[in-house]
Amino acid sequence: MARIGFFETLLSDDISFRERSAINSAQDSADAALHQGEMLGTSIGALQRTVLAQGRELHKLRAAIAVLVQTLADTGAVDAQVLDYRLEAALDEAEQESEAAPLVMCVGCSTQLAQDRTNVTELGLMCDRCFASR
C-alpha cells in the first residue's frame, strides 16, 4: 500500500487528515518491521556461517592435538598414561572454573564480571569502580 499524499487528502471527501496520518504511520511501521526482519534474517545467516566455520576449526584443532599427543607418546617424550591424567585434570579444572563463577552484569557500566566481584546496591549489582564513583 502506498502512502497517501497531501493532495489526495485534499481532493478526497472519503478521508480526513487524521485518517491519512494514521494510515501513513501504519505504513511506515510496516516498512520498518519488514526492513528489520530482512536485517535479522541476514544477521542470523551470518551467525550460522560463523558457527559452521568455528565447528570446522574446532575439528581441525582436535585433529592437530591428537597428532601431537600421539607423537609425544610414540617418541617416548611423555608417558601416555601420565599425559591422559594431566589432560583429564586440566579439563576438569577448566569445567569447574566455568561453573563456579557465573557472570553477571554491572547496572552502572554493563560490564560482565564474576558475581563474587560485585557490590549489592538498591539499583542492583555494581562493579567496584561504579560502586566507588557513587
Note the pLDDT tens digit of each residue in 8-22.
766 677 777 677 778
The gap from C-alpha 123 to its chain's centroid, in whole angstroms, comes to 25
Phi, psi values for residue 56, rounded to 5°: -65, -40
Bigger pLDDT: 100 or 63? Answer: 63
Per-residue model confidence as pLDDT tens digits over 66-94: 999 899 989 988 888 898 899 899 999 98
Residue recorded with cell 561453573: 99
pLDDT surpasses 70 at 6:
no
Q: And the C-alpha cell for 76?
A: 617416548
pTM over 0.85: no
Question: How many Å apart are CA 81 and CA 49, to the nearest integer?
Answer: 38
How much of the chain, in percent, has pLDDT values that exceed 70?
Answer: 92
Packing angle of the helix pair 80-100, 17-75 (nearest 10 deg): 150
Q: Mean pLDDT for the chain?
A: 86
